[in-house]
Amino acid sequence: MSEEILNSSQINEVIAAFATEGKVIDQKPYGNGHINDTFLITCQLPDEERKRYILQRMNHSIFKNPGQLMENLVNVTEYLRRVIVTQGGDPDRETLNVVKTRQGDNYYEDSRHNYWRMVLYIERTICLEQVESEKDFYDCGVAFGNFQRMLADYPSEKLYETIPNFHNTPSRFRDFQRAVQEDKMCRAAQVKEEIAFAFAREKDTSVLVDLLAEGKLPLRVTHNDTKLNNILFDQDSRKAICIIDLDTVMPGLSHYDFGDSIRTGASTGAEDEQDLSKIEMDLSMFEVFTKGFLEGCGGSLTEKEIETLPMGAKLMTYECGIRFLADYLEGDVYYKIHREHHNLDRARTQFKLVADMEAKWDQMMAIVEKYK
């Protein structure tokens, strides 16, 4: 789907379906996302001002039901607008604002059965691809914690699962087991050590979902993809102002959002680093994010949630590792690779992080206790 080349006339046809203001004077590809195709649209208003929009073609091979995805996105962002207004904030900058079609729909289906959506472009913002300082990561923690706090009373059961079992670690482990058993590419014999590492931690996979099933953890609205580049920062103050990329917002555990941020932001190396001596979990980064996240949550998490946050960091990292390794065993069919053994390298970095977290477990627990 997303490999289809789009020409300007096709995109202009789509733009015309949305309730934009003014005359379209420019449209160009935007950003570096790998899932959806994104364009920046500029319109000229009668008073010579300009208004910009983000247009996206949704990847319906990954998101099977664009209608449900957009219902989630619209309902959550409209709820956030109301919360932001009551807090005296700016709802045009602090959450995404969906632009509907001229027919009043949340999205548009073109003649080629592609699905499109549009949001207002938030001016004077920047996006960071990597953590450049402890302050960046602290602000990241505050932003995602604040996201949790603002949605603490949202009825999570009313959200659709846009990708079923997305962070269900036992389900991901079963997928991994199947990949090992089938060994489609005859690669398992070369990665026995990595497979053994994953199997040795099978009992950990159900810790959080068991606590949920027992009623000891609450189901919440979660973002589920809490990378640094899913936050917009004000270009002048460098303050985090808006959480973006809400495609995977669905019912989940607060641990998923906390853990995925730690996995990406507290690592001392790249996700695909081949020299594992460069990979560890930076405890100081773990601490600044934990401090920021809990401050942002503003008391909305339960004591049990806070106490088990380190397990969220470990499981999100482990889960990502077994997904990379399963994809390697299956022939690199899901994640894009740019070299031989790319997914294996990715799996190894995740497992190195897991092992380092285990070595630093008491310190991680003490940090969480310090800020709860």
The whole-model pTM stands at: 0.93
How remote is the C-alpha of 46 from its chain's centroid?
Answer: 38
- Buried-exposed string 321-353: b where 16+ CB fall within 10 A, e elsewhere: bbbbbbbbbbebeeeebeeebbbbbbbbbbbbb
Q: What is the DSSP string of 184-224?
A: TTS-GGGGHHHHHHHHTTGGGGGHHHHHHHTTSS--EEE-S
The 8-class DSSP code of residue 163 comes to S
Size of the chain, expressed as the number of residues it contains:
372
Residues 112, 113, 116: CA angle, nearest 5 degrees? 105
Parts of the chain with a pLDDT under 70: 1-5, 33-34
Instruction: Name the phi and psi angles at 191, rounded to 5.
Output: -130, 40
Give dist(CA 99, CA 118) in Å, integer: 5
User: How far apart (Å, rounded) are the C-alpha atoms in residues 10 and 15?
Assistant: 9
Residue 111 is predicted with a pLDDT of 87
pLDDT of the residue at 9: 79
Q: Which residues contact 148 (CB under 8 A, 6 or more apart)?
A: 220, 221, 222, 254, 257, 296, 297, 300, 301
Give whole-number Cα distances, 27 to 14, 39, 48, 181, in Å: 11, 7, 18, 48
Q: What is the pLDDT of residue 207?
A: 98
So what's the pLDDT on residue 323?
A: 97
pLDDT at 1: 41
- CA torsion through residues 63, 67, 73, 79, sign: negative
What is the model's pLDDT at position 336? 84
Residue position matching structure tokens 């996995």:
263
Q: What domains appear along the chain, each with residue ranges and CATH number? A: 8-123 (3.30.200.20), 134-371 (3.90.1200.10)
Instruction: Point out which residues pair with 43 in neighbouring strands.
Output: 24, 51
pLDDT score at 5 = 61
